[in-house]
Amino acid sequence: MVYTVKSSEKLRAAGAEYETKALLYLMNFREDSDDVHYYIVDFFNDLTGMSRIGQKMWDIQSKGAKNSPPKAIGKELVTLYKNYLSEFEFNCFILFMGGISNSVRINPDLNVFELKNIKESAVVKIREGLIEECQAKTYIDNKDIDEQKINDFLSLVQFVVDDKPNSDYVKSIIKTHVKLIPSQEILNSIFNEIRDKQSNKKNSVVENITIETCHEALNYGRHLTTGEIRLLAIARIINRDPFEKGVPLAFYSIISKLDGERQKDIILESQLALSKALYNKNNADNFWKLFENVYHVIMINPNTDVNKLYSKLDLDLLERCMDFDVISLKYFISLIKDGIEL
């Protein structure tokens, strides 16, 4: 099998917002969101999700227009169709849209839908638009502009209409833990930071690169991970990157009686535990619950030292967060405490 990258693009400011919304939709709003580990930017398509071991892919094309007519929707499907035709297996094809005209949906209240929710007259126009765009693209062979292939492809496409402000997409990272939800300004700044990080992945040139396995795409550094995106949110909430700016001051009282080498070991072990907890998708909800618990306890006990704060935490929750031990959890408390006090 081979795949050659075609029609990759440079940074598009106009579409960047919707590409980030598409990423956060894939990360948090689907039943299979927990299966996505990598978010590959502008390699196979605007965005392609990939599972942890690289055996499953979710392909997304995003379109920011607010009132797309059916024929325009069809034209936007061309890169998804290209991947459908490729030798690689894509498990899901998604067109993420800023909005659509009233002439498209049968049930206008459904914002995530398939072909069966599209009016027959609109399906005809979508098919026409896709065929026209296929004819205009050099990377679609004429033999593949085939009615049966196109019908089979369209039956697989999932259409998603954006219905949320930027801040709601960021809230979805933090789940339902309302005590952690920062101000609207911070939510928007987190969204912008994710958008900029995502857009910066387009700086390298990948046009005409040929790969033999889908996971080779990761060799080109055009991807983000779920853990990286969570880290951006956490850094904004606690006013610091957990892995930068040195050791939190509040932690020094915990390790002050140890010699210098042992202090270094404890710090590294604590950072490793935090990294494991942050990137552990199988325990993500308990991690956020713990974060919320620590944050809340510090907020109502701002002058309490780390040891006493630890004793006020939910013990059942501590048992469920197995990536932490006592010392590494006190490191985590110290990080949050120092960030809140800034």
Q: In what order do the strands lie in the sheet with 112-113?
A: 112-113, 157-161, 92-97, 57-63, 47-50, 38-41, 223-225
Of the candidates 212, 219, 242, the one whose C-alpha atom is nearest the C-alpha of residue 331 is 242
Alpha-carbon 174 to chain mean position: 12
23: left (phi over 0), alpha (psi -120 to 50) or beta: alpha
| Count of Cβ atoms closer than 10 Å to residue 221 Cβ | 11
**Predicted TM-score (pTM) of this structure:** 0.85
| Count of Cβ atoms closer than 10 Å to residue 303 Cβ | 6
Q: What distances in angstroms separate CA 41 from CA 31, 199, 231, 232, 324, one per listed residue?
A: 22, 8, 18, 17, 32
Give the C-alpha separation, 164 to 141, whole Å. 38
Give the C-alpha separation, 161 to 75, whole Å. 16
Tens digits of pLDDT across the chain (342 residues): 889 998 665 545 557 999 999 999 999 999 999 899 999 999 999 999 999 999 999 999 999 888 999 999 999 999 999 999 999 999 999 999 999 999 999 999 999 999 999 999 999 999 999 999 999 988 899 999 999 999 999 999 999 999 999 999 998 887 655 566 778 888 899 999 999 999 999 888 898 899 999 999 999 999 999 888 988 888 887 777 777 777 888 999 899 888 889 999 999 999 999 989 988 878 888 998 899 899 889 989 989 999 999 999 999 999 999 999 999 999 999 999 988 775
Alpha-carbon 305 to chain mean position: 36
The one-letter amino acid at 124: V
